[in-house]
């Protein structure tokens, strides 16, 4: 199956049914009065994330999705049937935006997440609603509302914890084959990978993370060279970027430092937020360098490249150094997950506290002028009432 991560569709919600204007006609019931029913509501269009899907190919060829119209109202107080809703199933990670306004409608980042993308129109009112003491035979009714109509842009951003970056033939697909059960195509020519690949890396029975391999970048991708920037969106949800560098390129004129810095510059041109993500270096293909030259080659590269957060020396084809790298990635991802959960818990606690304060303020007793009063005020008023009661008792005549 081909991989499609973009699609443009049109969704049309159903119109509401029209209200009816009719009167009761029955033997021995003169002047039966209005009995026109309401029209049914129009069907809405929903989008639901489905983890069993991994491409937008279903929306590549079916461009228009239309919900059912509501039925018109009838006589004898008959209401029209509501139109059936339609549900569009999309891969987890799909971002839905309005093509005309650019408004973000929904981000389906969890399995089963449901979003309303086009609301059906309300049904019109029948003349039954317009009768009154001065208008006992209304001939007024209302028409159903039109359903929403939208042009949507669907964009799939795969959900992964680690994103692989690098020039073509840097060993990204070989690396993901070495650390996961994914089996992307590997060959000795550039741009072997034409679509993103996902692999699950399991470091223990209860610990794992997802790694994403995208097609290689080259210098000038921002201007459309190679496959361009079209797959970089799949790295936007990652927590750390792993930049693979080929320290032993086959081309004698290739410069690993210049190529690595070109990748970083392409990131900066594409998205500043993606450029600011944590980025680690994995210096690959060390098995092609004589053992006595490896340390010097690595030192020269790091000196020319500049400061780097962390770097690892690996050989993806035989797994050398890969285990230390994936355990370091797992520790980093676990720490990030814990930080995110802590922030979510703090935001949730702050929201709950704010809601509790609002409820307490709403339930707080107030006097006639709308000002708050406390228990002391109640006590003073109670004492005054007791004093007045005693005085009245003293004025009463005694038997």
Residues 56 and 18 in one domain: yes
Range of the domain at 60: 6-156
Residue 272 contacts residue 265 (beta carbons within 8 Å): no
39 and 171 in a single domain? The answer is: no
Single pTM value for the model: 0.65
Query: Quick one: 85 and 71 in the same domain?
Result: yes
**143 and 177: one domain?**
no
Q: Say how many CA atoms lie within 13 Å of 110 toward its Cβ.
A: 4
pLDDT at 7 over 80: yes
331 and 187 co-located in one domain: yes
Domain end among 298, 313, 338 = 338
> Tokens in use for 189?
């020519």
The tally of domains found in the chain comes to: 2
Asked if 106 and 198 sit in the same domain, the reply is no
**Do 149 and 108 sit in the same domain of this protein?**
yes
Q: Exposed, middle or buried, 262 (CB in 10 Å: 0-12/13-18/19+)?
A: middle
Count of CB atoms situated within 10 Å of the CB of 158 = 24
Q: Based on the fold, state whether residues 291 and 271 are members of the same structural domain.
A: yes
Look at residues 156, 175, 209 and tell me which one is the last residue of a structural domain.
156
- At 223 the pLDDT is 61
Q: For residue 48, what is the domain's CATH number?
A: 2.70.210.12
Structure letter (DSSP) for residue 223: G
Q: Is residue 149 located within the same domain as residue 171?
A: no
96 and 177 co-located in one domain: no
Cα distance between the two ends of the chain: 105
Task: List beta partners, residue 108.
Answer: 94
Q: How far is CA 349 from CA 204, 337, 341, 344, 361, in A?
A: 32, 18, 12, 9, 18
Domain CATH for 255: 3.40.50.300
At 87-143, the pLDDT tens digits run: 999 988 889 999 888 888 888 888 888 999 999 999 999 888 888 888 888 888 889
Convert the pLDDT of each residue in 182-239 to its tens digit.
777 776 666 666 667 778 888 888 888 888 887 777 666 656 555 556 677 777 778 8
Higher pLDDT, 397 or 346: 346
């Amino acid at each position: 199956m081909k991989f499609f991560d973009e699609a443009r569709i049109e969704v049309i919600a159903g119109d509401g049914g029209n209200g009816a204007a009719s009167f009761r006609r029955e033997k021995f019931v003169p002047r039966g009065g209005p009995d026109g029913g309401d029209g049914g509501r129009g069907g809405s269009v929903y989008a639901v994330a489905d983890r069993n899907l991994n491409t937008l190919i279903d929306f590549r060829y079916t461009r228009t999705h239309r919900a059912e119209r509501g039925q018109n109202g009838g006589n004898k107080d008959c209401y029209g049937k509501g139109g059936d809703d339609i549900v569009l199933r999309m891969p987890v990670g799909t971002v839905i935006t309005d093509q005309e306004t650019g408004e973000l409608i929904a981000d389906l980042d969890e399995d089963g997440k449901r979003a309303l993308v086009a609301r059906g129109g309300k049904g019109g009112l029948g003349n039954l609603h317009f009768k009154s003491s001065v208008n006992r035979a209304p001939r007024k009714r209302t028409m159903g509302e039109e359903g929403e109509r939208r042009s949507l842009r669907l964009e799939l951003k795969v959900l992964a914890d680690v994103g692989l970056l690098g020039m073509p033939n840097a060993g990204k697909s070989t690396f993901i084959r070495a650390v996961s059960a994914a089996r992307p195509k590997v060959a000795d020519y550039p741009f072997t990978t034409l679509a993103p690949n996902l692999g699950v890396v399991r470091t223990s029975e209860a610990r794992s993370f997802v790694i994403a391999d995208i097609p290689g970048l080259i210098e000038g991708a921002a201007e459309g060279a190679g496959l361009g920037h079209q797959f970089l969106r799949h790295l936007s949800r990652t927590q750390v970027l792993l930049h693979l560098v080929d320290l032993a390129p086959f081309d004698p004129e290739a410069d690993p430092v210049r190529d690595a810095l070109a990748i970083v510059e392409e990131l900066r041109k594409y998205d500043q937020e993606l450029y600011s993500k944590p980025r680690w270096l994995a210096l690959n293909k060390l098995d092609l360098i004589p053992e006595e030259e490896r340390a010097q080659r690595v030192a020269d590269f790091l000196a020319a490249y500049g400061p780097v957060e962390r770097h690892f020396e690996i050989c993806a084809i035989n797994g050398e150094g890969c285990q230390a790298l994936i355990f370091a990635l797992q520790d980093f991802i676990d720490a990030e997950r814990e930080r995110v959960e802590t922030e979510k818990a703090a935001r949730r606690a702050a929201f709950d506290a704010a809601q509790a304060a609002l409820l307490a303020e709403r339930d707080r007793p107030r006097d006639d002028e709308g000002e708050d009063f406390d228990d002391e005020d109640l006590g003073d008023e109670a004492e005054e009432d007791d004093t007045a009661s005693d005085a009245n008792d003293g004025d009463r005549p005694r038997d």
